A and B are shown apart, each in its own frame.
Chain A
Amino acid sequence: MSKTEATTIDVSITDQPIDIASVRAGASSDCGAVAEFSGVVRDNNDGQRVQGLHYQCYREMAEAEARRVAREVMDEFGVRGVCIVHRVGDLDVGDLAMYVAVTAGHRREAFAAIQALVDRVKDRVPIWKKERYADGERRWL
């Protein structure tokens, strides 16, 4: 990567609704591809009716680990911008739980990077969900 290519990492863990318009994966005039992924609260899991979720995080580490994931993906896939936003607290069905995006020169590296980014966030960033079911029961996953 030449010194003239700026890179951007934007990571946040928030208890406020995610406003996609306010987060961008470092748009740049020489980048032609932006890939995004939104994780949304689903109304079912393992055959049970889900009413909502509570997300708990280890905040200091979640942001640090998300930054490490972002840096890795940037280096491995040659993307120029990475954005990771995850919401915590109480969410209802349909709410946006996670938004991630990458900016790259071309679509091929953008698609590969966004998949790796989502997988690594879900595997490593210390955030846990507790599901709230229609019958009133709640369970940590």
Chain B
Amino acid sequence: MTVEVLLFASLREAIGESSVRLEVPEGATVSEVAGALLREREITHMADLPVRYAVDETFVPDGHILRDGDRVAIIPPVSGG
């Protein structure tokens, strides 16, 4: 199945795109998909950061299972305010 991954801040800069489309196995969780993307792109600076995930503009747990066509955002620690 295919999902779209939205990228922000340092991760967007490291990958050089604001979003990527990925083929992922059925039943993949948000953290598995994000982990695979970071490994594939050799992104290491986020390893120790408390990253969160959102689907449909809402935070979801790391183990949230994605469905075909989902749009998942990788949310590095926020720093507004």
Contact = CB atoms under 8 A, between A and B. Distances in A.
B81 A122 contact: yes
A39 B78 CA distance: 15
Interface residues of A, number: 26
A79 interface: no
Nearest to A125: B80
Identify whether the interface residues of B are mostly helix, strand, loop, or mixed: mixed
Interface residues of B, number: 17
Given A98-B81, A128-B76, A129-B79, A64 B9 contact: no
Contacts of A60: 57
B80 A57 contact: yes
Contacts of B59: 65, 124
Interface of B: 6, 8-10, 12-13, 54, 57-59, 73, 75-76, 78-81
7 contacts: A65-B59, A122-B81, A126-B73, A126-B75, A127-B81, A128-B76, A129-B80
